[in-house]
Copies of this chain bind each other. A is one copy, B any other.
């Protein structure tokens, strides 16, 4: 799957992932109101509205980008109907040829991590039948529990030819509280980065490992150091745009081959129509606004090479 991701990045010339993180406030009224009229003020209406909103965006941008990253929290908040919308979104994106990074930041002790790996990337055996759950291509994973909490995800990736991105340095303001604390003179995120490089060592695609890392765009100095610690690790880089990261901050996240990183934008793309620059598209043109925002982001990111 890491080979396919790189191939798609090269083909689209866009090291970009669109974060499908639909807050209910982002959904244009003409979509939401129709569902509420049919289904009442229910999670079912919200789930269906979110799915339709996503579909509009996917249809408008799928040819421009290699991958999407639905944030499962935004679906999980609506309970089962939200998760049905999450599953529909994954299935539709895959049908459109997009690679799906399931941003669930899961982790647990071994047996529970194995269950998460089965549910998000792999399958379960029911009688003699192999049944797939969410069946995403990549999953984000939290490292706090250590190797035996991460290994089951790697095992599933090997079996299913999929991938993970392990949280190393996150983009949020408090990320330093534990991640930056020094251990033998070096911050925890570097120690975690070394583990990611080690875990990924025997999980190599052609040029990069399918054990990747999440490294926030908001800390470029740290990105530079982590790039050196993990030369064969693909970085999933959140924090560009709405969270404050700029294109010039992103240079150190890439290797000299122009590869090694894929930059996420969520609000900046899916909610573009609410920004001044794209307001002329109007609510009805929200998907076209997203398309234009992708084109602009692509130009912005490619300006660093």
Partner of A170, one of B109, B115, B192: B109
Contact of A115 among B74, B107, B119 (CB under 8 A): B74
Whether A128 is near chain B, meaning CB under 8 Å from some CB there, is yes
B181 contacts A119, C-beta separation under 8 Å: no
**For chain A residues 152-200, which have a beta carbon within 8 Å of chain B?**
167, 170-179, 181-184, 188, 191-192, 195
- Provide the bound-state CA to CA distance between A191 and B182, in Å: 12
A119 and B174: CB pair below 8 A? no
| B119 and A78 form a contact (CB under 8 A) | yes
A148 and B25 CA atoms in complex are apart in Å by: 22
Q: Which residues of B contact A80 (CB under 8 A)?
A: 80, 83-84, 87
Check: A24 CB closer than 8 A to any chain B CB: yes
Distance, CA A49 to CA B113, complexed state (A): 22
Closest B residue, CB atoms, query A195:
B177
CB pair B21 A112 closer than 8 Å: yes
How far is A116 from B78 in the complex, measured between Cα atoms in Å?
10
Q: Is A101 an interface residue (CB 8 A)?
A: no
A108: interface (CB < 8 Å): yes
A272 CB → nearest B CB, Å: 17
Contact present for B73 and A126 (CB under 8 Å) = no
Closest to A239 in B: B109
> For the complex, is A212 an interface residue (Cβ under 8 Å from B)?
no
Q: Are B133 and A77 in contact (CB under 8 A)?
A: yes
User: Is A147 interfacial (CB 8 A cutoff)?
Assistant: yes
User: 8 Å CB contacts to B: which residues of A103-131?
Assistant: 105-113, 115-116, 118-120, 124-129, 131
Report A13-30 CB contacts with B as 1/0, cut-off 8 Å: 000000001011000000
Docked complex Cα distance between A42 and B182 (Å): 49
Are the CB atoms of B77 and A119 closer together than 8 Å? yes
